[in-house]
Amino acid sequence: MKVNIKKLDERAKLPTYGTEYSAGADLYALTDTEIEIPPHTTALISTGIAIEIPEGYCGLIFARSGLATKRGLAPANKVGVIDADYRGEIKVALHNHTDAPAAVGAYERVAQLAIVPFLKAEFNEVTDLSDTTRGAGGFGSTGRI
């Protein structure tokens, strides 16, 4: 699938896939200097790109596992959603989950972008829902295994 992408700044780096089978394309910070993120705070990281996601798809922004597990930096909203009609700059709200300052370097990979199909639901209000074995059982209701 070809997806149109626009550099909003000539210094921006286009997303890249780490391997042939990568599901997410790496997004790069658009900065010439380090961006320091104080403990337990969030910084909005520019990428300098805008994207034209096809109708019926959305862009999902996920954490990079190494950045999250080794340095405590992950998207503040856990998973960002880019709708097909959005044409503004992609920015990553990167949160520092640690007790120490953390920094993002110039053009560092800060998140992953996956483009995925979705189903648009038509919500139908009813008075009863069908029965299931689980019913209204919540977190942990299915046991361990």
Q: Is residue 80 part of a domain?
A: yes
Q: Is residue 112 part of a domain?
A: yes
Query: DSSP label at 120?
Result: P
Start-to-end CA distance of the chain, whole Å, equals: 38
Domain of residue 82, CATH code: 2.70.40.10
Q: Is residue 47 part of a domain?
A: yes
The rounded distance, in Å, linking the Cα atoms of 63 and 70 is: 12
Q: Is residue 57 part of a domain?
A: yes
Total domains in the fold of the chain: 1
Percent pLDDT > 70 in the chain is 97
Give yes or no for residue 142 having a pLDDT over 80: no
Average pLDDT over residues 41-63: 98
- Residues pairing with 130 in the sheet: none
Alpha carbon dihedral 97, 99, 100, 101, in 10-degree steps, equals 50
Average pLDDT over residues 12-26: 97
pLDDT (0 to 100) of residue 138: 80
Q: What range does the domain containing 18 cover?
A: 4-117
Q: Is residue 31 part of a domain?
A: yes
Which conformational region is residue 89 in: left (phi greater than 0), alpha (psi within -120 to 50 degrees), or beta? beta
- For 99, counting Cβ atoms within 10 Å of its Cβ (0-12 exposed, 13-18 middle, 19+ buried), the class is exposed
Q: Which two tokens stand for residue 32?
A: 């010439």
pTM of the model: 0.90
Q: Is residue 82 part of a domain?
A: yes
Q: Is residue 105 part of a domain?
A: yes
Q: Is residue 9 part of a domain?
A: yes
Average pLDDT over residues 16-23: 97
